[in-house]
Amino acid sequence: MPSPKTTPLPNNDPNRIELSNGVVLKIKAGSRNAISYAGRNAQKDHPQPEIPMVFIKDQERSEPNADDPDYIQAFNIWQIEISARIMDVLYAQAVIVETIPDGVGGPDSIEFKDFLELAMGEQLRASEMGRLVQWLRYWAIPDGDRLDLQRRLLQLAGVPLEDLKEVETTFPDNTGGKPDNGSADKQSG
């Protein structure tokens, strides 16, 4: 069920939503194949960090240390890079902008271009699709609407609901968690 911020519009189309800033989007199914390739290519560009080893003096041996703060930070950044690439594919394939209210500024607006250059250190992309993806990523989707929109796009792409909980920890707006080191609280039953 959609959150109050990204509610379906009165025409009862659950895939036509108004964000809290008044931007109206039509969302559709994206390609699971494209999502898979985007994730795989992102992992080639950003390999998963290796768990550092720590020497345990009492036991006179080295063990993986998934609690290392630098590793946790690197792992969280890695997750964000992968999920950002996947979301860019969905923004490009599965989002149609229907309405941009006054005061928001569209993908070709001077306000967005200036913001992109000053705050993000990026140039406005030459292609229409590239500008749209930048605009959606950095400007158009309020933080409070982002997680719900991402969830809905993944559902439309056919990502099973049970997988969404795991995927959601990687969304850029989510704080994420500690990486799974394979020893998830086995003693507490």
User: What are the tokens at 114?
Assistant: 């200036």
**Which candidate, 163, 146, 149, places its Cα nearest to that of 27?**
149
Helix (H) or strand (E) holding 113: helix 110-118
pLDDT the model gives residue 182: 43
Q: How far is CA 159 from CA 30, 89, 125, in A?
A: 10, 14, 29
Model pLDDT for residues 149-159, shown as the tens digit of each residue: 999 999 898 88
Model pLDDT for residues 171-181, shown as the tens digit of each residue: 554 444 455 44
Model pLDDT for residues 88-97, shown as the tens digit of each residue: 999 999 999 9
Model pLDDT for residues 51-95, shown as the tens digit of each residue: 999 998 998 999 999 999 999 999 999 999 998 999 999 999 999
pLDDT the model gives residue 10: 57
Q: Where are the alpha helices (DSSP H) in 110-156?
A: 110-118, 128-135, 143-156
Model pLDDT for residues 117-175, shown as the tens digit of each residue: 999 999 999 999 999 999 999 999 999 999 999 999 998 988 876 666 665 665 554 44
User: What are the tokens at 55?
Assistant: 């020497």
What are the sequence ranges of the domains in the chain?
Answer: 4-168
User: What are the tokens at 40?
Assistant: 């795989």
pLDDT the model gives residue 14: 85
User: What are the tokens at 8?
Assistant: 């379906």
3-state secondary structure of 189: coil
φ, ψ of residue 80 in degrees (nearest 5): -65, -40
